[in-house]
Amino acid sequence: MRLAQVAVIWAALATAVCVPIAAAAASPLLAWRGPVYIVAGFAGIIALGLMLVQPLLIAGYLPGLSAYRGRRAHHWVGGALAVAVVVHVGALWITSPPDMIDALFFSSPTPFSPWGVIAMWAIFAVALLAAVRRRLGLRPRTWRIGHMLLAIVIVVGSVVHAILVEGTMETVSKAALCVLVLAAAIKVMAGLRVLKKRGSLRVESIARR
Amino acid sequence: MSTVILNRRNLLAAGGSVLAAGVSGLLLPAHAEGLAPTPSMPGGSNNYREGAAIVDRIGKGGFWMSGTVRRAGDGGPLAGQRIQIWAHTIEGQEHEPQSHGATLTDKNGAFRLEMPQIIPIFGQPHGHLAYDSGEFKTVFLRPVMRSAKETSLEAHFVLQPV
């Protein structure tokens, strides 16, 4: 791949993630929010951005990264995603404890809350499974199917959550990021074929790495 | 001897009539007793502070919260009832004292209190109202604005005696 192509791909990814963040940074709502609440909002936006990077990393769509380094980066970004969610929920809890407790117990009046909470548990589940799967002796195929099902829950839950929330994110850039997150997840999952055929070449080759 | 024919059409018809009977059975007593009391809304009591002062206006105003307070059953207006109002506004967060105020209903059971512009908090532009004076059962409401640009919001109470 030529250098120009590499640069274009990375620039496009940076734009897709950074434009929504910049647009949110210009939100008039920020003027009436405390610092902790602002941090909570941006942690959520960053988490959504990381969700776009994750499938691209593991599928090797990002040029300049070897398969090994892409995998390592996928692990680190996954950890960062879990941390971002902890910051998002923790800072919202500090901002308004009763609202956060309602959300976590699925008794919130806001329709977007359960989607976010379910996605949160799915993210924690993937992080935990990724950390202990070798100790548990999980077969690569079992792990991959489990991870993929949880990834579907994470992506769908997060996108619906983000779309329904009326917050600092600007509407068009939010919708665009959500479409990209969905598209990347669908494209990568369709390419893996892990659920279609046992022993398909690509799955086996990734599992053996 | 009559045979009962179980086919899809019969089942649907029978199921439908059972459903209709059951639903109307649940609804009818409420009609018989007149106006049903307003239930508290989920999250309605969040960040409530008891005993906010009765004020002419919360902060600098610019936004109108209004509504009515009526008695369950006959729907008669309840005058002189204390309604407490709070929200995340351009002048303060929900839990802060300056975001809270109370007003009394007039002889028609209506109330209207000017307050600062409500802005979206926790993903929805919404206000909070409470009736919590003891004579009737406590009710917490949490109305949501159709758009964050609106400059007024309504909430209506139907109270039942304790």
Each domain of chain B, given as residue ranges in start order, spans 63-159
Q: Stretch A173-194: mean pLDDT, rounded?
A: 91
The pTM score is 0.83
The alpha-carbon gap from A176 to the nearest alpha carbon of chain B, in Å, equals 19
**pLDDT of res. A191:** 84
> Which tens digits make up the pLDDT trace of B70-105?
999 999 999 999 999 999 999 999 999 999 999 999
**Mean pLDDT for chain B overall:** 87
Residue A85 and residue A44: Cα distance in Å, rounded?
Answer: 7
Question: Is the reported ipTM for this assembly greater than 0.85?
Answer: no
**pLDDT of res. A3:** 87
User: What token pair was written down for A15?
Assistant: 């734009």
Exposure b/e, A161-192, CB count within 10 A at least 16 = b = bbeebbbbbbeebbeebbebbbebbeebbeeb
Yes or no, beta carbons of B123 and A34 under 8 Å apart: no
**pLDDT of res. A204:** 45
Is A42 touching B (CB cutoff 8 A)? no
% of chain A surpassing 90 pLDDT? 86
| Superfamily of the domain at B63-159 | Aromatic compound dioxygenase (2.60.130.10)
**pLDDT of res. B42:** 94
SS3 B22: helix
Residue A161 and residue A177: Cα distance in Å, rounded?
Answer: 13
Residue A123 near residue A85, CB atoms below 8 Å: yes
Provide the terminal-to-terminal Cα distance of chain B, rounded to the nearest Å. Answer: 57
**pLDDT of res. A110:** 94
The alpha-carbon gap from B69 to the nearest alpha carbon of chain A, in Å, equals 23
Is A108 touching B (CB cutoff 8 A)? yes
User: What token pair was written down for A53?
Assistant: 């990077």
Is A165 touching B (CB cutoff 8 A)? yes
Which chain A positions have a beta carbon within 8 Å of B44's beta carbon?
A: 109
Residue A208 has pLDDT above 50, yes or no: no
Residue B94 and residue A29: Cα distance in Å, rounded?
Answer: 14
Residue B91 near residue B50, CB atoms below 8 Å: no
Is A109 touching B (CB cutoff 8 A)? yes
Q: For residue B51, what is the DSSP state?
A: T
Number of domains in chain A: 1
The domain containing residue A87 runs over which residues? Answer: 3-208
CB pairs under 8 A between A and B: 55
Residue B115 has pLDDT above 60, yes or no: yes
Q: Stretch A144-171: mean pLDDT, rounded?
A: 96
Yes or no, beta carbons of B47 and A108 under 8 Å apart: no
Nearest residue in chain A measured CA to CA from B117 = A32
